Chain A
Amino acid sequence: MHDHGAHGGSATAVAETAPRMALIGSPNSGKTTLFNALTGLRAKTANYPGVTVSRSEGVCPVDGQPVVLEDVPGTYSLDPVSPDEQIVSDLLHDRLQGVARIDGLISVADATTLHRSLVLLAHVLNVERPTCLVVTFLDALAQRQGHLDTRKLSRAIGIPVVGVIATRGQGLDAVRDLIADPSAWSTPVVPPPIELGEVDAWIESVLAAADYRPPLPDSRTSRVDAVLLHPVWGTLTFLVVMFAFFQSIFTLAAPLQDWVAQFFGWLGGLVSDHISNRWVSGLIGDALIGGVGGVITFLPQILLLFVLISLLESVGYMARAAFLMDRVMARARLDGRAFVALLSSVACAIPGIMATRTLPSAKDRLATMMAAPLMTCSARLPVYVMLIGMLVRPGQRIGPFPAQGTVMFLLYLAGAISAMLIARVWKSLLDRRGTVMPFYMELPPYRMPSLRSVALAVWDAASAFLRKVTRIILLTTLVLWLLLNLPARSDSALTQAGVDAKDQAAVSAYVIDHSPAAAIGRAVEPVFRPLGFDWRINIGVLASLSARETFVSTLGMVASSENPEKPAEALEQMTVQRGPDAGRKLFDAGTIAAMLVFFIYALQCMSTIAILRRESGAWKWPAMAFGYLFALAWVLAWLARLIVNTVRG
């Protein structure tokens, strides 16, 4: 979960004339940490042209001159087995359309895995571009009784070698000095061999000349893994971690949520007290503060989830989770890393979809992206809380369990199981030939989380969420409020319609009933009537297509127009106005069940659509996702209503 959105825009401005270097190395080599350390926040991410492979570019100032650094996808070899690695090969051979030529290569290798890491270097040195080597994790090497003489290594390989401890900032100046002039870099007198036996002999010899002593196995990692990967204790710990994860969604964040809710309540009170113009106070109070405030109430919880995910990842636990869950994910024809992406989606599908970058196969990536929106994200929570509250009384129990909690748990479970099934279906569709992609996964040693990277990752995810809130939710709530409250009716028009102009509730009810929003809601009634929805719910559903959270505030606006003091009661008392089941209580069990199921499946998030577009590189994927999920949601919601109504007799 590293570089998410654009950090800054200056990389584009530097463009053509600046020298370009590519950082190349295996995943887990410390390459991205080095990239972040050299480019600071001056990096932007995009996709390579036409493919599902992400691309990071940043600017590193060297002696006042900008140098463009490209963080190439992690790869183990220039003999590719995945689209990511194919991109690396194409990039190095200047075969990529629209990508400028690379002037120098910065090979990054983990000092604790040199016997394997130098294989890639051997391949890269055959490309015959100025290349230097940056060796990372020298501190870990020393701590585990290993040793390396970088000067001797440089002489043995024939290229400049710099040792770096990126987390401490050591060696970064030496790297910057090196980047300043790639033409001055020494080159090997004879390129290293690439035939399998010969390259081993070369690596052995070079490391011997560098006085390399490989590190002992990391005792701390071994001891921790003895528990965390133990069949019994490991599984237990995993379940506890997952439980804690989900518990934090509800209990830990609660006090913070209350505080935020109080704040917005106070703000809303200020507005209604001090702004006399009812129209303006309604706009600011209901639409802006009510709509946005309702969502920001969930920010503490989302932040907490992001912090947890990020911590688990930087400590190294996520790789263990992927290891434990691989067999389960294999049933969905995916691998353990997809589990991490789906887990992240519980906070928000956006970082979850971005986390699919760790999956080596493009088909895996797409299948997981199509399934990620089904994981119960935080945006669904306000909707679920509201609907469950109407369905089940707080004290009710199902057997020994509290009913409300049980329904919530079942909703999460339904989301997770559906995600797995859907991932499997998509993977089968995308991969009809059943091509075999080798599975291999490094388990890096446990590391102290770099608070800086955790903070960066949380900031990335949080700012993506806040951007969604401020742009999409704000805009939607505003537009909706206007559509519901315009056109303003004059007193005479009201009286003509038989409405008492002094009765606020009656006036707003009339206005809403004859608003453009109502017209739209009625227009789509044929689509949603089988699900038990009426025009009021329809407006909510249509609004929620932009962002699920707006469903609550939309219904809130409609309800408070009928009963400003007690909107919740208004919802309870709403009845169907027209049609064959007129007079039925609108929010009856069947309809609520339909709504819940609809929200499990429907893709109601413009941000997710945007991210799907960006990560998959084409509009057809988000379009298909939206289409099939809408159809699925409709059918299953209809079924849910049918079943609930039948059971209730």
Chain B
Amino acid sequence: MVDITEMLRRRTVSAATGTAAGQLTLADLRPGQRGVIVGLDDSHVAATMRRLCDLGFTLGAFVEVLRRAPLGDPTLFRVKHYEIALRRSEARRILIEPSDRAAEQHRGSAQAG
């Protein structure tokens, strides 16, 4: 039987191309702000980055920052139409470009990626 787990472990998480140092990350956004994911820090633990992708934080995905916990961590995000909290240590591995477009979350038919 094909070992699917082994194949999944070999997936590569593509880093952003042409990123400058000091790129904006998810940890830099404030509640209410939105961004689109343009890259993932491939110098961080690979299994963690793959898990973030499996959770919906993929290249091209829109993320909205909903709220931050009173003590500063974790932060609640909306991605792929659901809500999930990440700590700063993971959020800063996700490179984003701020987006002002309202209602970017696709509704109904998919658009070309």
Q: Does B102 contact A (CB under 8 A)?
A: no
Q: Does A588 contact B (CB under 8 A)?
A: no
Contact A123 B4 (CB under 8 A): yes
Q: Does B108 contact A (CB under 8 A)?
A: yes
- A-side contacts of B73, CB under 8 Å: 326-327, 330
Bound complex: CA of A79 vs CA of B52, how far in Å? 11
Contact B70 A324 (CB under 8 A): yes
Q: Does A66 contact B (CB under 8 A)?
A: no
Bound complex: CA of A398 vs CA of B32, how far in Å? 48
Closest to B105 in A: A214
**Given B14, B45, B51, B106, which contacts A79 in the complex, CB threshold below 8 Å?**
B51
Given A93-B3, A115-B56, A128-B2: A229 touches B9 (CB 8 Å cut-off): no
Contact A197 B69 (CB under 8 A): no
- Which of A291-299, A438-446, A484-492, A635-643 contacts the other chain? A438-446
- A-side contacts of B52, CB under 8 Å: 438, 440
Closest to A233 in B: B70
- Which of A47-55, A201-209, A268-276 contacts the other chain? A201-209
A85 to chain B, nearest CB (A): 9
Q: List 19 A-B residue pairs with CB atoms under 8 Å apart, sorted by A's residue number.
A: A79-B8, A79-B47, A89-B5, A93-B5, A115-B81, A119-B54, A127-B4, A128-B1, A128-B2, A194-B11, A197-B59, A200-B113, A208-B109, A323-B74, A327-B72, A436-B45, A436-B48, A438-B47, A440-B52
Contact B84 A126 (CB under 8 A): no
Residues B35-82 near A (CB distance < 8 A):
45, 47-48, 50-56, 58-60, 67, 69-74, 76, 78-82
Residues of B within 8 A of A (CB): 1-5, 7-9, 11-14, 45, 47-48, 50-56, 58-60, 67, 69-74, 76, 78-87, 89-90, 105-110, 113
A441 to chain B, nearest CB (A): 5
Give the most central of B8, B9, B78, B105: most A CB within 10 Å.
B8
B18 to chain A, nearest CB (A): 18
- B-side contacts of A234, CB under 8 Å: 70
- A-side contacts of B59, CB under 8 Å: 196-197
Contact B4 A327 (CB under 8 A): no
Bound complex: CA of A229 vs CA of B85, how far in Å? 12
- A-side contacts of B106, CB under 8 Å: 204, 214
Q: Does A139 contact B (CB under 8 A)?
A: no
Bound complex: CA of A127 vs CA of B13, how far in Å? 22
Closest to A441 in B: B85
Give the most central of A89, A128, A196, A441: most B CB within 10 Å.
A196
Contact B69 A323 (CB under 8 A): yes
- A-side contacts of B13, CB under 8 Å: 196
- B-side contacts of A439, CB under 8 Å: 74, 86-87, 89-90
- B-side contacts of A326, CB under 8 Å: 69, 71, 73-74, 85, 87
Contact B108 A194 (CB under 8 A): no
**Given B82, B105, B110, which contacts A205 in the complex, CB threshold below 8 Å?**
B110
B75 to chain A, nearest CB (A): 10
Contact B4 A115 (CB under 8 A): no
Bound complex: CA of A94 vs CA of B78, how far in Å? 36
Residues A38-66 near B (CB distance < 8 A):
none
- B-side contacts of A235, CB under 8 Å: 70
- A-side contacts of B50, CB under 8 Å: 77, 79
Contact A440 B82 (CB under 8 A): no
Contact B7 A194 (CB under 8 A): yes
Given A76-B54, A200-B113, A327-B73: A195 touches B11 (CB 8 Å cut-off): yes
Bound complex: CA of A232 vs CA of B105, how far in Å? 31
Residues A99-148 near B (CB distance < 8 A):
112-113, 115-116, 119-120, 123, 126-128
Instruction: Sort A-B residue pairs by CB-CB distance and give the 8 closest, nearest first.
Output: A204-B110, A327-B71, A79-B8, A77-B54, A115-B80, A231-B70, A214-B81, A113-B82
- A-side contacts of B55, CB under 8 Å: 76, 116, 440
- A-side contacts of B87, CB under 8 Å: 326, 330, 439
Given A76-B54, A93-B1, A127-B4: A441 touches B84 (CB 8 Å cut-off): yes
Known: A204-B113, A326-B87. 5 other contacts (CB 8 A): A116-B79, A127-B1, A196-B12, A327-B73, A438-B45
- B-side contacts of A196, CB under 8 Å: 11-14, 53, 58-59
Bound complex: CA of A324 vs CA of B48, how far in Å? 23
Bound complex: CA of A76 vs CA of B79, how far in Å? 15
Residues A168-210 near B (CB distance < 8 A):
194-197, 200-201, 204-205, 207-208
A122 to chain B, nearest CB (A): 10
Closest to A207 in B: B110
Given A79-B47, A207-B110, A215-B81: A443 touches B76 (CB 8 Å cut-off): yes
B34 to chain A, nearest CB (A): 13
Closest to A217 in B: B78
Q: Does A81 contact B (CB under 8 A)?
A: yes
- B-side contacts of A231, CB under 8 Å: 70
**Given A204, A214, A323, which contacts B107 in the complex, CB threshold below 8 Å?**
A214
Over the window 414-442 of chain A, the binary record of Cβ atoms lying under 8 Å from chain B Cβ atoms (1 yes, 0 no) is: 00000000000000000000001011111
A434 to chain B, nearest CB (A): 12
B109 to chain A, nearest CB (A): 5
- B-side contacts of A94, CB under 8 Å: 1
Q: Does A514 contact B (CB under 8 A)?
A: no
Contact A78 B5 (CB under 8 A): yes
Contact B71 A81 (CB under 8 A): no
Contact B48 A79 (CB under 8 A): no
Closest to B44 in A: A436
- A-side contacts of B83, CB under 8 Å: 217, 442-443
Bound complex: CA of A126 vs CA of B14, how far in Å? 22
Bound complex: CA of A441 vs CA of B12, how far in Å? 24
Bound complex: CA of A197 vs CA of B40, how far in Å? 13
Contact A212 B47 (CB under 8 A): no
Closest to A145 in B: B107
- A-side contacts of B85, CB under 8 Å: 323, 326, 440-443
Bound complex: CA of A468 vs CA of B71, how far in Å? 40
Bound complex: CA of A160 vs CA of B9, how far in Å? 28
A210 to chain B, nearest CB (A): 10
B110 to chain A, nearest CB (A): 4
**Given A324, A336, A438, which contacts B51 in the complex, CB threshold below 8 Å?**
A438
- B-side contacts of A323, CB under 8 Å: 69, 74, 76, 85
Bound complex: CA of A94 vs CA of B70, how far in Å? 45
